[in-house]
Amino acid sequence: MGDTPREVLSDREVAIIENGEPLNLSNEGQIDFPMPHELIESLLVVPIYYLQRPAGLILLHAHDTNHFDKGAEEITQALASQAAVVLGNAFQYEEQMRRGELLKRELETLSKLFHVSHALRPNRPLEESLSAICSAIQEATPFQTILVSIVDPETQLLHRVYGVGMSDTIWQELRSNTQPWLSVQSLLLPEYKVGTAFFIPISKNPEVPEDVHAVTVLYPDHRNENDAWDPQDMLLVPLYDSYENPLGLISLDNPKDGRHPDRATFEAVDLFSEQAGLIIENHRGIRSLEDRLGDLEAEQSRLKDAAKNAQHNLPMLLHRELEQTISIQQIYSHIERIRAGLEISELASRKTTIPEIMHTLASEMITRFDLQAALIAENTILGPRLIETLGNLPAKSNPEALFGQRNPLRQLVQEGHLILAATLENEWSNSPLLNVLGAKSFIGLPLDLGEGRFAGVLVIGHRPLPPFTEQDRTIYLHLARQVSVGLQNLKLLTETQRRLHEVNLLLEFSQGLGVLDPEKILKGLVESLLKVISEAQACWVGLWSDKEAALIPHVAMGYHDNDSLLEIAYSSSSRTGSSEGIFPLPMRVYQAGLPERVAEIHFAQDYNLPAEDLLRYRRATGGRLPVSSMLVPLRRGDNVLGLVVIDNFNTPAAFLEEDESLTLSLAQQTALGLENARLFLAVDQRASQMQALNQVATMLTSSLQSDQLIDTLLNQLKIILPYETATLWLRHGDQLVVAEAAGFQDDESRVGLTVKMEDSSLFQQMVTTGQVVSVTDVRLDQRFPAFLEPDNLSWLGIPLIAKSELIGAIALEKHEANFYTSEHNQAASTFAGQAAVSLENARLYEESLRRNDELDQRSQRLALLNHLSSELGVSLDVDYILRLTSQQMLGALNGTRVAAVLIGDQGEYILKVEVPSTSTELPQILPAIPLLERLQESQGIFSTSYVAKDADLAPLRESYFQSRRVRSLLVIPLITGTGVHGWLWLQSTESYRYSPPEIELARTICNQAAVAIQNARQFAETNRLTADLEHRVEERTAEFMREHRNTQSLLQIMTELSASLDLNQVLIRTLSILNESFPADQSTIVLAQDRETVFRAGVSLAYSAEINPRSVSLPENQIADWVIQHKKTTLSHNIESDDRWNFTKELSIGFKSFLAVPLTLGEEVLGALLLFNRNASSFMMEQVGVVEATARQISITINNNELFSLIRDQSERLGAMLRDQQIEASRSRAILEAVADGVLVTDSASIITLFNASAERILDLKAAHVLGKPLEQLAGLFGKAASTWMQTIRKWSENPSSYETDQTYAVRIDLDNGRFVEIHLAPVMWRSDFLGTVSIFRDITHEVQVDRLKSEFVGNVSHELRTPMTSIKGYVEIMLMGAAGELNPQQVHFLQIVKTNTERLSVLVNDLLDISRMETGRVTLSVQPVDLVEIYEDVAADVQRRGQEENKPIQVSIEKPADLPMVKADMDRVRQVFWHLISNGYNYTPANGFVTVRMQRIGPDVQVDVQDNGIGIQQKDQHRIFERFYRGEDPLVLATSGNGLGLAIAKTLVEMHHGRIWFSSSGVRGEGSTFSFTLPVYQVEE
């Protein structure tokens, strides 16, 4: 109570039940007990026990703490005992009840059983018996659904035969499903067994085989208890017979009480199932007895029937005997046919050729089988071919021609199956061949030729044959097979013979191959092939030539002109003809290396030879072309040597496979023979080459003299390698020099020619590869000069390499191209190796000799130089060095005196030292000597053995050389890094030529001296430089200090200058700083533009008081003017002595010196800065820089100041402008707001920026809802009508140039409230930029309504006019038709008048309607290309018909050019124009007049003139005739009927087409008038 009990007890609650102790909890100790709800503060749990067994729990809850005291606990326990007793009583009662129930059911079961036993009788149907059992089970047990199945003893399948307690559909489903007994049996495990029944609860997860069929019947779910029946539970009772064979199964389901079966149920089920088993077994026994009886009865009746039949069947037996007789006859004829077949096959087998065999077969078939004609054919590579026809063929029939179409013979040879047709009423009835031959039946025999090829014989009968039997088929098949075997035997025989022949031939041929002459071998091949291969009509054989890179024919036979064929070379390089890139056939086969039989030669494609070769080929074949060819390569291993080509000029596919294999074996033999011959020749050649090489090598290695070796080298080479010219190059450093040449006309002059190695790519190649370089044709090689035609085409470069170094090369040339072969190359390498070694040896030998000499001399000299060098090292005195050097030189070399001449500072030549010394006082300056000048420049050495002869020495000849009797002179320069310092003159009184080693020694000595001299000089120089450097450092330090000071002041000035924008203050401060820094007594700034503004600082200028500065030019102004004018800084140390200035006494300012600097900014001079000082020479040049820098800063400040004022002025002006614009804009806005039309403005992004009050009113939208929103959103409110509007705006914003200035964009939209608004749209453009749009809305509802009323009015009026007119016109016409009785002529006349006037009225109404519609703009043109002539013809025909009716002949005609273009117009409207103008012409022209219509193209228009010769138009009327209803006063006009609307309509219509209309008339009667109008020509691209 007060709570909902839980379904399951918690663990704590179970624990209480188990230990039996009550539990009393309160919140103070925190209740850790599972609570059913919140707010429980106290808890009391008491268990209930009954007979020592737990029976329940009492749980008490309270909302306050400590609610349950000890007393309460005890009371509750007492209550629990009471409750236990009551519960026990209740349990016992229930138990008693259940037991009573069971007993009752047992009783019922027994009585049922008794009842059932009575019901079970063997003679009753099984279903009835089972029904009794099932209902008994239903009553005896709680189970409602009972199902009985029976095992079929044969199939062992369970069939459900009876069921109760289920719906009909379920029963039907159950009955239609069977289940194998074995599967069901597998469920019946011992663990489930209770008595005879098996209870299989689903909770035990039984393994139910898939083929056990179960239907789960859904019924109300019962209590959720342990023993509750699950719909998937099974209760099965198997039924067995007395021999334990399965009989059936009872299944129970759906218990009433929803519980598992209890004991009583099982007992009842046992009893009833036993009964059921008995019944089924009995039933089965009865059934089998019944079956036996049935069988016996059937047998009996069958026997009865047989006896009855026998009486009726006698005539049938007689008939059967007749049939047997006939069949015996058939067997006879069958035997006859077999015999005929055997005879035929025997006859055929005796023939010795294939055609004869087939012919015999065919003719015998005709005669023996009484047939009329036969055809023989065979299948070839090119398809079926008719061989022979024989027998009785209709005249003029041409079986050959029809053989190509489908026929049995064709099928025969293609498929090889027997084909028989007793009549043609089958698939062959349409065969043209059979029809032509008059065939009504045929026999087609296939003949197997082997290898899948068939021939066939088709024998034809002119009458249908009796139907073929299976035996007939066998006979014909055997016949065909027999003959086929004969054919194949024959073929084998010929084949064997042919093979024998071939073998003989091959033997013969290989014997012929013994010769070593290739030409003979090839000739033998060709001859043999022509002999052996029957279809070979011509043959040629060619060999591949590496040299020419082509296939060269060597032997040809059988051609019309064999020699011409031999002239054709099949090259791999030249591909010509239309099929570019495809080689001629022989070349292709040669490259593929595989034999090829070409069934049909496509000459143009297969022989795409150059023109001259084609000519040769034609000459060779005598104009015929090969039809089929066989090409077989001559092949030796992988090496294809050449090609045999065999041609046939008549037959396609002339060559057979055996021809190919024969040719192939001959070709292989030939290749072998050729290879042998080649090898033999090669060995021979090689041997002689090796011999020569040997000799040469001996020759070369025996010589150690280079010269001798070089002389003989090329001659020796010629023994091995033939050449026209040869050149031997030897290497000297990076150059190659010609050492020997042979074969040239100018051999000698070539010797000594030099080439740099790097200049020749051929030598480069030799160096890098070390290999012989062979150029097969120098014309094809880019490394050879292309400008001259070479005499020799082959070139061979042989590198001479010793110790991996190129020491030289030999170049050979030969006249022919492709001359040098790989053998040559090899020989060349060998030779080169020998030659190089020999050359190197010789060189080494010579070298070693020379070395020995040299070493001797060297050691002496080294000693000398060592001595000199150590002596020189100790001194820095130039004179001493020179003297010492001179002495050493005299000691080392042959000479009498040495002089030292040095070059002085001024370039003079000073004689410093002479050893041995002379009386001449030294140093002595020598005169200028040209020789020395030259030597000074060239740093060279001069040597002469006869001084007197040398003109360059002339200046010294007398003064120096003669006195010292010098004859020989060697001048050696003293050279250091900076050039020539002087010379040592080694003189001799004898005539002596110094050798190179002597000169070299002298030079070394001089170099030593020069180094020493330079050292001495450098020492002196270093001293001087150090002193100089110290001085310069001092200067720089002072300068730096000055600069630093200046920079400081400049910085200060700059800080001042940028400190404020008040120019006056800033400048005066700056000037005072200037005064301090320089120092100056006063500084002044004079501005160029405004002379009165002068800034000064410092001591004031002492002008006399009388001086009026306005009338006199003050000195400062004068100076400033000068500076500004010259844009130049000026400095005056003393004004008084400076004649640029001439200041009067009174202007004397008391300053002596000044510095004046222009204030410049770019090119502009702003003014001048002047510094004054009382003392003369106060300012220095060094200060100018700083002052100028200051001046620049001042200029910038002044300029900045000006700019600042400028910007301030500008912004003030802009501010004013902005204000004006705002005023203007708000005025515009006010105007826009005030206009009566709605205005909507959008910006470039289509956002609405203005929406005036009228727009609000017209569109019934608040501006606040619209402004700032995209226009599309607004347009959406107006539906589809606004889409044009939006599209136009979008088009403009995307492409502003699409707007055309004079175009207006207007669209009408219908609002929901029934009003009409017209929107005019215009873009806002600034130049080509799209800024937005302006849309004007105008409420046109009133106009639209007026328009509608008008149109309705016109419609009503015309209707009202037409209705009475209908009556008038109708009745008049009826009367005129005579339908209302006959009329007299006068009556007819009057009625005619009524009719005519009615018609006028009708025309008037139509015209009025037209005019009205045009004026209201409701006429729209449907424009299309229009043919004016067509319209004219319509209208003219109408008018002429009228003329006939009115008896007024008028000639209506047209004049127009043939190429009159179409016009762009509305056809119906143009017809109206024609009608009005032409009928006017008719109306105002008297009878027999004319109306001529002229059409012509004029520019972009077609002009139409309508001319008549009528009354014309009088001058006074001419200006009004296009007015509506105007007809003038002319009586002639008024005499004609008309309403005066025609021309007005015509004019309006023409103008709607953008055309013009006008007229001309002289006004004279009879001259008529001409009306003209134009219409635009139709342009096709529109």
Within 10 angstroms of residue 1569's Cβ, the number of other Cβ atoms is 23
Within 10 angstroms of residue 733's Cβ, the number of other Cβ atoms is 8
Query: Nearer Cβ to another protein, position 387 or 1383?
Result: 1383
Residue 1375: CB minimum distance to another protein, A:
10
Q: How far is CA 997 from the centre of its chain?
A: 79
Binding positions for another protein, 1304-1363, rule CB under 8 A: 1351, 1355, 1358-1363
Residue 1363: CB minimum distance to another protein, A:
5
Of 177-185, 767-775, 844-852, 1406-1414, which part binds another protein (CB under 8 A)? 1406-1414
Query: Nearer Cβ to another protein, position 593 or 1370?
Result: 1370
Query: Nearer Cβ to another protein, position 427 or 1360?
Result: 1360
Q: How far is CA 843 from the centre of its chain?
A: 69
Query: Nearer Cβ to another protein, position 1000 or 1434?
Result: 1434
Q: How far apart are CA 827 and CA 796, in angstroms?
A: 12
Query: Nearer Cβ to another protein, position 1149 or 1549?
Result: 1549
By the rule CB under 8 A, 1398 interacts with another protein: yes
- For 1388-1489, list the strands marked E by DSSP: 1424-1426, 1451-1455, 1463-1465
Of 205-213, 1023-1031, 1318-1326, 1405-1413, which part binds another protein (CB under 8 A)? 1405-1413
By the rule CB under 8 A, 1374 interacts with another protein: yes
Residue 1448: CB minimum distance to another protein, A:
21
Query: Nearer Cβ to another protein, position 612 or 1415?
Result: 1415
Residue 1270: CB minimum distance to another protein, A:
38
Q: DSSP letter string over 1444-1473?
A: HHTT---EEEEE--TTPPPEEE-HHHHHHH
Within 10 angstroms of residue 1236's Cβ, the number of other Cβ atoms is 11
Residue 1398: CB minimum distance to another protein, A:
7
Of 321-329, 995-1003, 1331-1339, 1364-1372, which part binds another protein (CB under 8 A)? 1364-1372
Query: Nearer Cβ to another protein, position 405 or 1366?
Result: 1366
Residue 1359: CB minimum distance to another protein, A:
4
Residue 1348: CB minimum distance to another protein, A:
12
Residue 1331: CB minimum distance to another protein, A:
43
| Consecutive H or E run containing 1334 | strand 1329-1339
Q: Could you tell me where the DSSP H helices lie in 164-227?
A: 168-176, 181-187
Residue 1578: CB minimum distance to another protein, A:
24
Residue 1549: CB minimum distance to another protein, A:
15
Instruction: Using CB atoms within 10 Å of the CB of residue 481, give its burial: 0 to 12 exposed, 13 to 18 middle, 19+ buried.
Output: middle
- For 1093-1214, list the strands marked E by DSSP: 1094-1098, 1130-1132, 1153-1161, 1164-1173
| Consecutive H or E run containing 116 | helix 70-119
Using the rule CB under 8 A, which residue among 175, 1413, 1497, 1524 binds another protein? 1413
Q: How far apart are CA 1199 and CA 1430, in angstroms?
A: 88
Within 10 angstroms of residue 1358's Cβ, the number of other Cβ atoms is 15
Residue 1343: CB minimum distance to another protein, A:
19
Residue 1347: CB minimum distance to another protein, A:
14
**137: Cβ contacts below 8 Å, ≥ 6 apart:** 143, 146, 250, 252, 268, 269, 272
By the rule CB under 8 A, 424 interacts with another protein: no
Closest CA to 890 of 860, 918, 914, 870: 914
Residue 1419: CB minimum distance to another protein, A:
9
Query: Nearer Cβ to another protein, position 860 or 1392?
Result: 1392
Residue 1373: CB minimum distance to another protein, A:
5
Closest CA to 1328 of 1297, 1282, 1355: 1297
Query: Nearer Cβ to another protein, position 326 or 1377?
Result: 1377
Q: How far apart are the first and last CA of the chain?
A: 98
Residue 1290: CB minimum distance to another protein, A:
33
Category of 1294 on φ-ψ map: left (φ > 0), alpha (ψ -120 to 50) or beta: alpha
By the rule CB under 8 A, 873 interacts with another protein: no
Using the rule CB under 8 A, which residue among 51, 318, 322, 1377 binds another protein? 1377
Of 231-239, 383-391, 1318-1326, 1373-1381, which part binds another protein (CB under 8 A)? 1373-1381
Q: Are the beta carbons of 1143 and 1115 closer than 8 angstroms?
A: yes
Q: How far apart are CA 1398 and CA 586, in angstroms?
A: 103
Using the rule CB under 8 A, which residue among 102, 215, 516, 1368 binds another protein? 1368
Q: Are the beta carbons of 239 and 280 closer than 8 angstroms?
A: yes
Query: Nearer Cβ to another protein, position 497 or 1356?
Result: 1356
Residue 1245: CB minimum distance to another protein, A:
42
Q: How far apart are CA 1509 and CA 1363, in angstroms?
A: 39
Q: How far is CA 1075 from the centre of its chain?
A: 82
| Residue 1299 identity | Y
Residue 1479: CB minimum distance to another protein, A:
19
Binding positions for another protein, 709-728, rule CB under 8 A: none
By the rule CB under 8 A, 1379 interacts with another protein: yes
Q: Are strands 157-164 and 42-50 parallel, antiparallel or unpaired?
A: unpaired
Using the rule CB under 8 A, which residue among 1367, 1537, 1560, 1579 binds another protein? 1367
Using the rule CB under 8 A, which residue among 1336, 1394, 1409, 1467 binds another protein? 1409
Query: Nearer Cβ to another protein, position 35 or 1368?
Result: 1368
By the rule CB under 8 A, 1366 interacts with another protein: yes
Of 538-546, 1297-1305, 1402-1410, 1498-1506, which part binds another protein (CB under 8 A)? 1402-1410
Query: Nearer Cβ to another protein, position 1341 or 1406?
Result: 1406
Q: How far apart are CA 1074 and CA 1062, in angstroms?
A: 19
| Residue 1477 identity | L
Using the rule CB under 8 A, which residue among 912, 1369, 1464, 1469 binds another protein? 1369
Residue 1469: CB minimum distance to another protein, A:
12
How many residues interact with another protein (rule CB under 8 A)?
Answer: 24
By the rule CB under 8 A, 1365 interacts with another protein: yes
**Neighbour order of strands in the sheet with 453-461:** 383-391, 373-380, 453-461, 441-450, 419-421
Instruction: Using CB atoms within 10 Å of the CB of residue 1117, give its burial: 0 to 12 exposed, 13 to 18 middle, 19+ buried.
Output: middle
Query: Nearer Cβ to another protein, position 525 or 1372?
Result: 1372
Query: Nearer Cβ to another protein, position 869 or 1406?
Result: 1406
Query: Nearer Cβ to another protein, position 750 or 1362?
Result: 1362
| Backbone phi and psi for residue 1151, each to the nearest 5 degrees, phi listed first | -110, 145
SS3 labels along 719-786: HHCCCCEEEEEEEECCEEEEEEEECCCCHHHHCCCEEEHHHCHHHHHHHHHCCCEEECCHHHCCCCCC
Using the rule CB under 8 A, which residue among 36, 209, 1215, 1370 binds another protein? 1370
Q: How far apart are CA 222 and CA 784, in angstroms?
A: 116
| Contacting positions for another protein (CB under 8 A) | 1351, 1355, 1358-1363, 1365-1371, 1373-1374, 1377, 1379, 1398, 1402, 1406, 1409, 1413
